[in-house]
Structure 1
Amino acid sequence: MRILFVSESSLPHANEVTDSVLRVVDHYATGGDDLAIIAPGWRGTARLLRTTGGRGVPVHRIASLPLAGRTEVRIAPTSATALRRRIAAFQPDVVHLASPTILGGRAMVAAQKEGVPTVAVYQSDVPGHSARSQMPFLESASWQLLKDVHNRATVNLAPTTATRDQLIQHGIENVHLWRRGVDTSLFSRSLRDQSLRSQLAEPGERIVLYVGHLAGEKQVSDLEVIHDLPGVRLVIVGDGPERCALRRAMPRARFVGHRFGTDLATYFASADLFIHPGELETCGQTISQAMASGLPVIAPRRGVPTDLISSSRTGWLYTPGMLDEMRSAASDLLFDDAKRRAFGEAAQESVRKRTWPVLAEQLRGYYRSAIEQGSTLAAR
Structure 2
Amino acid sequence: MRVAIVTESFFPQVNGVTNSVRHVVDRLLERGHEVLLVAPAPGLAVYRSVPVVRVRSVAMPGYRTFPVGLPDRAVERALADFRPDVVHLASPIALGAVGLRASRRLGVPAVAVYQTDIGGFARQYGVRAEAAVGRWVGRIHRRADRTLVPSTASRDQLAGLGVTDLHLWRRGVALGLFGPQRRVPELNARWTRHEPGSLAVGYVGRLAPEKQVARLPELASLGGIRLVVVGDGPSRASLERQLPAAKFTGMLRGQDLAQVFASLDVFVHTGQAETFCQTIQEAQASGVPVVAPAAGGPLDLVDHGRTGLLYDPAAPGSLRDTVARLVGDHELRRTLGAAGPAAVRNRTWATVVDELIDVHYPAVLPGNRTALAA
Query: 1-side partners of 2:249 and 2:345: how far apart?
Result: 28
Alignment of 1:1-380 (within 5 A): 1-42=1-42, 45-50=43-48, 56-79=49-72, 81-136=73-128, 138-202=129-193, 203-364=196-357, 365-372=359-366, 376=370
Query: 2-side partners of 1:342 and 1:9: how far apart?
Result: 37
Deviation readout 1:218-255 (Å, 9 max, x if unpaired): 11121212222222011000011111110111111111
Gap regions ≥5 residues in structure 1:
51-55
Deviation readout 1:152-180 (Å, 9 max, x if unpaired): 11100100011101100111121111011
The answer as to whether partners of 1:225 and 1:323 remain within 8 angstroms in 2 is no
Q: Residue 248 of structure 1 aligns to which amino acid in structure 2?
A: R
Taking a change above 3 Å as real, the CA distance of residues 14 and 373 of structure 1, as seen in their structure-2 partners, is farther
Query: 1-side partners of 2:284 and 2:316: how far apart?
Result: 22
The answer as to whether partners of 1:315 and 1:343 remain within 8 angstroms in 2 is yes
Q: Residue 17 of structure 1 aligns to which amino acid in structure 2?
A: V
Query: 1:87: how far off?
Result: 0.6
State the match for 1:53 in structure 2. none
Query: 2-side partners of 1:70 and 1:213: how far apart?
Result: 11
Deviation readout 1:171-229 (Å, 9 max, x if unpaired): 11211110111111111010000222233221422111101111112111212122222
The answer as to whether partners of 2:125 and 2:209 remain within 8 angstroms in 1 is no
Query: 2-side partners of 1:60 and 1:130: how far apart?
Result: 27
Q: Which moved more, 1:150-159 or 1:22-31?
A: 22-31
Query: 2-side partners of 1:372 and 1:160: how far apart?
Result: 27
Query: 1:336: how far off?
Result: 1.9
Question: TM-score scaled by structure 2?
Answer: 0.95
Taking a change above 3 Å as real, the CA distance of residues 46 and 133 of structure 1, as seen in their structure-2 partners, is closer
Query: 2-side partners of 1:207 and 1:221: how far apart?
Result: 19
Q: Residue 300 of structure 2 aligns to which amino acid in structure 1?
A: D
Deviation readout 1:294-348 (Å, 9 max, x if unpaired): 1111111111111110111111111113242222221221222222011111122
The answer as to whether partners of 1:222 and 1:323 remain within 8 angstroms in 2 is no
Query: 1:143: how far off?
Result: 0.7
Query: 2-side partners of 1:31 and 1:217: how far apart?
Result: 36
Q: Residue 225 of structure 2 aligns to which amino acid in structure 1?
A: V
SS in 2 for 1:151: helix
Q: Residue 371 of structure 1 aligns to which amino acid in structure 2?
A: L
Question: TM-score scaled by structure 1?
Answer: 0.94
Deviation readout 1:255-281 (Å, 9 max, x if unpaired): 110000111111100001111111111
Query: 1:76: how far off?
Result: 1.7
Deviation readout 1:91-127 (Å, 9 max, x if unpaired): 1111110000111001101011111111000011011
Query: 2-side partners of 1:265 and 1:322: how far apart?
Result: 32
The answer as to whether partners of 2:55 and 2:74 remain within 8 angstroms in 1 is no
SS in 2 for 1:14: coil
The answer as to whether partners of 2:179 and 2:287 remain within 8 angstroms in 1 is yes
Q: Residue 21 of structure 1 aligns to which amino acid in structure 2?
A: V
Query: 1-side partners of 2:99 and 2:186: how far apart?
Result: 48
Gap regions ≥5 residues in structure 2:
none
Q: Residue 17 of structure 2 aligns to which amino acid in structure 1?
A: V
Query: 1-side partners of 2:99 and 2:321: how far apart?
Result: 47
Deviation readout 1:122-167 (Å, 9 max, x if unpaired): 011011223344232x111001111121111110010001110110
Deviation readout 1:14-71 (Å, 9 max, x if unpaired): 11000000011112211111111110112xx211113xxxxx2211111212112211
Query: 2-side partners of 1:78 and 1:162: how far apart?
Result: 30
Between Structure 1 and Structure 2, how many residues are aligned? 370
SS in 1 for 2:143: coil
Q: Residue 311 of structure 1 aligns to which amino acid in structure 2?
A: H
